[in-house]
Structures are given as C-alpha cells and as structure tokens.
Amino acid sequence: SVEAGSLLSVRGLTKYFGSFAACNGIDLSIAPGEIHALLGENGAGKSTLVKMLFGVLQPNAGDIVWGGSSVSIGSPGEARALGIGMVFQHFSLFEALTVAENIALSLDPRIPLAKIAEEAASLSKAYGLPLDPNSHVADLSVGERQRIEIVRALLQNPKLIILDEPTSVLTPQEADRLFETLFKLKAEGRSVLYISHRLEEVQRICDRATVLRHGKVTGACDPKQETPASLARMMVGADVAAV
Ligand code: ADP
Ligand code: MG
C-alpha cells in the first residue's frame, strides 16, 4: 500500500536494460521534509531508479505516486513541472558559457538573462552556495559547478531535490557546506533524496535510508539507529558479517 502523507511513493518500479533488471520491483516512500538516503554499492541500481523519477528513463513496470496521484514522468521537463529537481552525478554544463547562460538553457527563453543572474545570485546567497552568475564555467572548480546545478534546481522551487553521489566530487569542506544547504532545504519542508555509498555521511545527515542491492530493496531504516556493520550487511549481503 502507498504510505499516507508521503510526498512520493514508488511501488514495484522496474527497469530492464535488455534482459537485465537494473531495478527490480522497488518500493520506496519519501515524506515531506525528509532527507532520505538511497544507499547501495556501485551497480545497485541507484542512478537508474532516480533517472526514472526525473523522467530520464521510463520504467517497464511499477507506479510512481506523487502528492497522492499516480503520475507518469515522461521527461525532465515534466519532472521539474511536478516539483522534482535533480543534481546529476555528471554535470551537463557548457564550459564557454557563463553560470547564468547555462541556467538559462533549462528555462523559458523569454526570461531575461539579467533576471536569471539576479535570482541565481540571490538563491546562491540564501542557500550558502557561493557563485558568481557572470563567471565562465571553464574557470570554475567541480564544487562550484555542482552549485550551479543545485541553484538551477532551486530556481524551479522544487518539493523534492534528488542528488546523485554529490560528495564524490567534493572536498570535505565543500561537503560540509552542502550538508548545511540540505538541512536548510529540510527546514523549509522540502524533501531530499540523497544517493550515496558512504555510510558515515548517510548516518550523519539522513532521516531514513532505503538500501538497494542488485536492483532490489534490502532494507529501509533510520540510519542513525543502525551500526555501520548492519548497514553494510544490507548493502553487500549477509556474508559480510563473517568478515
Ligand atoms: P548505481 O547508480 O547504483 O551504481 P546504476 O543504476 O548506474 O547503479 O546501474 C545499475 C546496473 O545497471 C549496473 O549493472 C549498470 O551497469 C546497469 N546499467 C545502467 N545503465 C545502463 C544502460 N543505459 N544500459 C545498460 N545497462 C545499464
Ligand atoms: Mg550511480
């Protein structure tokens, strides 16, 4: 059954690549204001799952329930219109363009660039993501590039923000800054779906965790109530307990 009061529920979500099920009957619910981890080893199906939630991939089976209604999410534009934003693991930014010009590419072309730059600057300040909208992407660090993607998502006022392994490209200081941003989003009642394979950061920042292995859910828990060993067991299988 779909959990009452959840912002997003998926039931039986399945994605095949040929005859291989990258996601195989996944159930997951996210509450408003929750930082929800999607935890799993490389190849577990995490990115495939969130690409279905952002309309990049179409499921072969299963339901996505958003705000109480069953939806089909045909494209990233449809996901954004529903209130879902995403920060991908690999950014799609044009090096020769400025921050504001890059952001403009995913918005209505009638919006003046100066207005986009102004809103991007104000969001970056409000959410602790320092960024000059007029700088060229080619001159920016990978951490700054990620901030562009976060600001781009925030411009659409999302109810849910999905981040796919965001700290894999960040310094520890940048990661701490990102966590502060996520706590602010949570305090505003927005939900965060946070993909990671790093147990310690999931335990530190997430309210709940859904653990995937080989395309299936192997556990759903409050990560703060788990030990690193119990989380690792859900991620890699019972045999790890013997190691
Ligand atoms: P994770 O993000 O958890 O590391 P992915 O969702 O990226 O895992 O991948 C899950 C599995 O699906 C992996 O075995 C991967 O090789 C496979 N896979 C992902 N995308 C494709 C694709 N476009 N075509 C074929 N296989 C894919
Ligand atoms: Mg991935």
Q: What pLDDT does residue 131 have?
A: 95
Query: Is 166's C-beta closer than 6 angstroms to any atom of ligand 1?
Result: no
Which protein residue has the closest C-alpha to ligand 1 atom 1?
Answer: 43
Write phi, then psi, for 87 (nearest 5 degrees).
-115, 110
Q: What pLDDT does residue 90 have?
A: 87
Q: What pLDDT does residue 243 have?
A: 46
**14 Cα–ligand 2 center, Å:** 16
Which protein residue has the closest C-alpha to ligand 1 atom 22?
Answer: 17
β-pairing, 84-87 vs 160-164, is parallel
State ipTM: 0.99
Q: Which tens digits make up the pLDDT trace of 126-151?
A: 999 999 999 999 999 999 999 999 99
Domain 34-58+73-242 has CATH 3.40.50.300: yes
Which protein residue has the closest C-alpha to ligand 1 atom 24?
Answer: 17
Neighbours of 98 (CB within 10 A): 20
Write phi, then psi, for 68 (nearest 5 degrees).
90, -10
Which protein residue has the closest C-alpha to ligand 1 atom 25?
Answer: 17
Positions of the chain with pLDDT under 50: 1, 241-243
Q: What's the whole-model pTM score?
A: 0.95
Ligand nearest to the CA of 56: 1
CB 35 within 8 A of CB 207: yes
Ligand 1 mutation target, pool 17, 163, 164, 195, most atoms within 8 A of CB: 17
Residue where the block lists tokens 């859904």:
210
Which protein residue has the closest C-alpha to ligand 1 atom 20?
Answer: 48
Q: What pLDDT does residue 239 have?
A: 57
Ligand nearest to the CA of 45: 1
Which protein residue has the closest C-alpha to ligand 1 atom 7?
Answer: 47
Query: Is 51's C-beta closer than 6 angstroms to any atom of ligand 1?
Result: no
Q: What pLDDT does residue 153 have?
A: 96
Average pLDDT, the chain: 94
210-184-156 Cα angle (round to 5): 85
Q: Which tens digits make up the pLDDT trace of 27-40?
A: 999 999 999 999 99
Ligand 1 mutation target, pool 14, 23, 48, most atoms within 8 A of CB: 48
> Which atom of ligand 1 has the smallest separation from the CA of 44?
3
**42 Cα–ligand 2 center, Å:** 7
**CA dist., res. 71 & res. 8, Å (int):** 10
Query: Is 38's C-beta closer than 6 angstroms to any atom of ligand 1?
Result: no
**43 Cα–ligand 1 center, Å:** 6
Query: Is 44's C-beta closer than 6 angstroms to any atom of ligand 1?
Result: yes
The single-letter code of the amino acid at 132 is D
